Structure 1
């Protein structure tokens, strides 16, 4: 299955963002349970973060991102890329 990367930048104040972090974490755990090998984290130097995950296609990756609580609640802007792994 191809890998995808969502690079995100926070666009709301931290208190609003933090309200949706528990739901985001639960969503990532659901993705892991469903075989998407998702990982999510944030940059320590400045705002924003990244999520990597596997999906069958770009269309499925877009659908996965659309269900992320951080996206649904307007907390981040993002770019989605297919990541071509060359060394495993």
Structure 2
């Protein structure tokens, strides 16, 4: 299955962002349970973070990202990329 990366940058204040973090974590746990091999985290030196996951297609990846509570609640701007892994 192709791997996708959502690179995001926060666009709201921290209290607003933080109220959606528990829902984002639950969303990622659901992706893991569904076999998408999702991982998420944030940048130590910069506002924003990354979601790494597998999806069957670009369309499915876009649909997955649209369900992220951080996206649905306008907390982040993001770019979505397909990542071609060359070594594991």
Spell out, residue by residue over 1:40-61, the C-alpha distance to the aligned partner (whole angstroms, 9 max, x if none). 0000001100000000000000
Residue 77 (structure 2) pairs with residue 77 (structure 1): yes
Matches within 5 A, 1:1-88: 1-88=1-88
Instruction: Report how far residue 36 of structure 1 moved.
Output: 0.1
Aligned length: 88
Q: List 4+ stretches of structure 1 deviating above 2 A.
A: none
Segments of 5+ residues of structure 1 without an aligned counterpart are none
Cα distance in structure 2, aligned partners of 1:62 and 1:47: 22
Under a length normalisation based on structure 2, what TM-score does the superposition of the two structures give? Answer: 0.99
Segments of 5+ residues of structure 2 without an aligned counterpart are none
Q: State the superposition RMSD in angstroms.
A: 0.3
